[in-house]
Structure formats: structure tokens, C-alpha cells
Amino acid sequence: MLTPTPLMRLVSGFWSFKTFAAAVELDLFSRLAGGKTITVEKAAADLGLADRPADLLLAACASLGLLDRSGDGYRNSALAEEFLVSGKPYYFGGQVRYCDARTYLPWHRVGDALRTDRPLTWDPDSQESMFETEDPQILELFWEAMYSTSIFTARALGEAYDFGAHTRLLDVGGGSGAYPIELCRRYAGLQATVYDLPHVCPIADEKGAAAGLSDRIDSFAGNFLHEPALPPGYDVILLSMILHDWDEPTNRELLGKCFAALPTGGAVVVSELLLNADRTGPPEAALMGMNMLVETVGGRNYSETEYVTWLTEAGFVDAEVIHFEAPGANGVVVARKP
């Protein structure tokens, strides 16, 4: 029998996120690292909560698969232990904190974005892009969010596509350097450069140094939208979670710059949450498109077919779609310069 139960799950979807975000804000999962268990009474004392909210929080987190219960105690699920303990290599808390602080409230006005076709998290009349803000805390949250989403996505990409055929990687708009770090860890013969805005490059340099990869990862300051050409000397160019920020003409122009910068045989790798050919899903790609409405002027999530078309018309050949599962991408489109 058809029921409105699936609709109720949509209605209450924000309950799950805000419960999750509150638990991350309280650093619940880091407190339970290493197999520790906690009772309701101990959680109340440690988190500064009364017994009732502590009980409700632990039960809700267990229902979401974030905690496991054993007797009177709760402990981290395998998912939480791996990705929600601060300091672990693939810590995902940065993304949770950023969405809670930056995008959650603007999303309440998504109807305004639909009616006006304008972003809600920044003002395009006074700022050049969403990446400009005077709030250092928001900037810090943004780069931590991008790093926490990208580092595991880079691991999945490194398993799906063989970068061993390349020696020098240019990560266009590479932010805090998660992709170069993970890919250089996996491929000993690879060197990488993060190409990003001047105020971003020190963040990438710091992350590369912390990973012990300063000898193989560097940064190059520039604006890939405004510069007439990309830096030469690289045999693979990565565009990870970049093209969904911009409209089609901007993306085609950037792919043209990639083609001009690459040598014969060089490759371009587009890593994104790809829509299917008829643009009906998957949900994570389609809903990220809605988030681009909230956060960008012309951005949207594109289908794998659109990327193949643009690459082919830019002069690339042998375009191939490789699917995988990760938080920041569900696949890549790879093409080669003849």
C-alpha cells in the first residue's frame, strides 16, 4: 500500500543532520575513541548535559548508525571510529561543522534562491566569489571541510585511476592539498603542485609539510579564471570539485586552458558528483546541484555525458568515465590530449 512515510522521512531529514552536527560539536565521538564506552549518566557529566538530553542524544546517534549499544553503555560504531574521531587521517568532522555553521541556515531560504537565481551564502554584488570572506573562522571551517571531504575522495580516486603513468600533477583549485597528499602517498613517482589563490597556497604548503611531503608537493599562486593560461610542465591536470562551481562557458574555457597546457599524451581528470545521462540522479549529485544554487552564481552539477562532450569538443580524445564511491565524488571523467 502506498503511504506518505517516505515523505515524512524527507520532512524530518534535517533532524538527522542537526543531531549529527550537535554530537560533532560536543566532540562526542572523539571522547569515545579507542573503544571507550559511555553511559547516559557519564555522558551527561562529561558533556555538561542533563540526563534527559544525554539519553536522547545517545539513542538518536545509535539510531543513525553512529554509536553501538552494549548493555548500559554506548561506543563508537566502526563508521564513527574511522571518520569522526578528531586527528584521524580521514576525519570528516570539518565538513559537518562547516555545513552547520555556513550553509544550514541559508538553506532555509532555498525558495528565495529558486526565485531569484542568486546565492544565499554571499553577496555577488560586493564579492567576486564565495571564496571571499572577511570572517577567518568561516575560512578555516571551509578549508577544513574541503580537506575532510577531499582526502578520502582522493584515496578512492587513487584506487580507481592509475596515476602511476604520470610524473607531474597540477591540481587546479586544489585548496588545502588533500588530493596531492593522498595521491603522492600512493604513487611514489608522482610530484604535485596545488594551483590556487595566493591566500590559499600557504594552507596547502602547511598541509603538505604536515604530511611529510614538502619535497614532492608545492603550490603555485594564481587565479585560473583570470590568468590566460595554466602553468605548463605537467602531464596530468586534476579538476576536483571545481567545475560544479561555474557555468558551462566558464568550464569550457577552463578545459581549453587545460588542453593548451598539457603535452601530447597528457591527461585531464575531472572528479565530481556526476549526474547520470538523463539527469535523474543519483540524489547526492542532484542535491549537490541544489547546493550550488545556494552557494554559487552559475554553478550546477553536470552529467557525465556533458563532461565527455565538453572534453571532446576541447580537443581531447579517449574520454572515459570511471565510477567509484566517495563523499566528494562518485566518479571521474578522464581524457587524453592527442
Which residue among the candidates 108, 199, 244, 323 is catalytic per the annotation?
A: 244
Distance CA 144, CA 134 (A): 17
**Of 123-132, 147-156, 181-190, minimum mean pLDDT range:** 123-132
- Superfamily in which the 149-336 domain is placed by CATH: Vaccinia Virus protein VP39 (3.40.50.150)
Task: Give per-residue pLDDT as tens, 269-282.
Answer: 999 999 999 999 99
Q: Report the percentage of the chain scoring pLDDT > 70.
A: 98
Task: Give per-residue pLDDT as tens, 248-272.
Answer: 999 999 999 999 999 999 999 999 9
**Residue predicted with more confidence, 144 or 78:** 78
Equal fold, 5-83 vs 149-336: no
Residue 132: pLDDT above 70?
Answer: no
CATH architecture for residues 5-83: Orthogonal Bundle (1.10)
**Model confidence, pTM:** 0.94
Task: Tell me the domain boundaries of the chain.
Answer: 5-83, 149-336
Find the mean pLDDT for residues 197-201.
Answer: 92
Residue 141: pLDDT above 70?
Answer: yes
Q: Which amino acid is at 229?
A: A
Question: Would you state the pLDDT for residue 131?
Answer: 63
| 233 within 8 A of 166, measured Cβ to Cβ | no
Is the bond preceding residue 6 a cis peptide, omega within 30 degrees? Answer: no
Residue 133: pLDDT above 70?
Answer: no
Q: Which amino acid is at 271?
A: S
Give the Å distances, CA to CA, from 304 to 179, 219, 239, 269, 318: 21, 29, 14, 12, 14
Instruction: Indicate the average pLDDT of the chain.
Output: 95
* Res. 217 pLDDT band, cuts 50 70 90: very high
* Res. 46 pLDDT band, cuts 50 70 90: very high
Q: Which amino acid is at 113?
A: A
199 is catalytic: no
Question: Would you state the pLDDT for residue 5?
Answer: 96
Phi and psi at residue 195, to the nearest 5°: -105, 110
* Res. 130 pLDDT band, cuts 50 70 90: low
Task: Give per-residue pLDDT as tens, 48-73.
Answer: 999 999 999 999 999 999 999 999 99
Residue 288: pLDDT above 70?
Answer: yes
Task: Give per-residue pLDDT as tens, 105-126.
Answer: 999 999 999 999 999 998 888 8
Task: Give per-residue pLDDT as tens, 23-42.
Answer: 999 999 999 999 999 999 99
* Res. 135 pLDDT band, cuts 50 70 90: low
Q: Report the percentage of the chain scoring pLDDT > 90.
A: 91
Question: Would you state the pLDDT for residue 116?
Answer: 97
Residue 134: pLDDT above 70?
Answer: no
| 328 within 8 A of 149, measured Cβ to Cβ | yes
Find the mean pLDDT for residues 147-156.
Answer: 94
